[in-house]
Structure 1
Amino acid sequence: MEFKEGQQPNRLINEKSPYLLQHAHNPMDWYSWGDEAFAKVKSENKPIFLSIGYSTCH
């Protein structure tokens, strides 16, 4: 995976899941499934955008 110079990781950089770690340098402000995500959408009165995926050995 290529990263742009100066690109900062998002909050997924602290996850253990290989799938979530693949997206740790995406420009999207991703949240993993949990209380933090639910509190955020509740406080902003917004819906949840759910991305479902998995990692496998290639």
Structure 2
Amino acid sequence: MPNRLAHETSPYLLQHADNPVDWWPWSDGAFEEARRRDVPVVLSVGYSSWHWWQ
């Protein structure tokens, strides 16, 4: 699976670059591929959390 996030500048996208998910950065190509494959686009809004344990 190609790693499309490896060269992004966003820290959020980079932390997901090694996930076993076929992530695409926001681009016309991502939407064109979804149309070609007739699949939905799942959008990540960039949520990240930090947990504090003592």
Report percent identity of matched pairs: 56
Larger radius of gyration between Structure 1 and Structure 2: 2
- Calculate the aligned-residue CA RMSD, in Å: 2.2
Structure 1 length as normaliser, TM-score?
A: 0.71
Show structure 1 runs of 5+ residues with no match. 1-7
> Structure 2: where are the runs of 5+ without partners?
49-54
Q: CA deviation at 1:46?
A: 1.1
Aligned residues: 49
Structure 1 runs, 4 residues or longer, greater than 4 Å off: none
